Amino acid sequence: MDKKSIRQKMIEKRNALEEKKRINLSNQIADIIVESEIYKKFNNICVYQSFRGEVLCDRIKEQAFLDHKCVYLPVTDKEAHSICFYQIDESTTYVQGAYGILEPVILPGHITLQEPALILMPGLVFDSMKHRIGYGGGYYDRFLEKNKKHETIALCYAFQVIDEILPYEKHDVLPDYIATEKGIF
């Protein structure tokens, strides 16, 4: 199957997930992340604002604040086809940004990610080799290609990891790990 058909099939499957189940699975994934050695070794944690049924990062973000970690969210520049991570805190205000995703309001002097971080990233479908298919924008690929000092964990539900090897491009950047409600691999 091509990327477009795989993408559409998984969107339908993920959209069929009931809200209560999505929250429960997201909380299980969050617990696995915040108890992991990978999370514990980083002072900087990059989360994302979930949309379209993605794994929720809210619980991870809240725990990172409690753990006195620096938390960052991506802001998308559609014209430049890029993302940049900005530090947030409990008082951050948000505005609807690119693709309808909530992004932090950027004020003068806002801190951008400079130090190595654990970047939690979304994705739509993954295979056992950690190839991923997202929405086709390539934003994380471009950011990670230029910023190799970070470690990444892609978050998804277990049914989003398939046995079949996905089509991939030479420029695709694979996540270091994939986390589902069944664990991190």
**pLDDT score of 56:** 98
- Say what the pTM is: 0.95
Instruction: Calculate ∠ Cα 149-154-160, nearest 5°.
Output: 160
Q: Based on the number of CB atoms within 10 Å of its own CB, is 153 exposed (0-12), middle (13-18) or buried (19 or more)?
A: buried
Q: What are phi and psi of 135, to 5 degrees?
A: -95, 0
**pLDDT score of 107:** 87
Q: What are 57-69's pLDDT values in tens digits?
A: 999 999 999 999 9
Question: Is 50 in contact with 9 (CB distance < 8 Å)?
Answer: no
Instruction: Calculate ∠ Cα 80-131-125, nearest 5°.
Output: 85
Under DSSP, the state recorded for 158 is G
Amino acid at 75: V
Share of the chain above pLDDT 90, in %: 89
User: Which residues partner with 153 through β-bridges?
Assistant: 120, 177
- CA-based nearest residue to 54, from 121, 137, 8: 121
**How close are the terminal C-alpha atoms of the chain, in Å?**
25
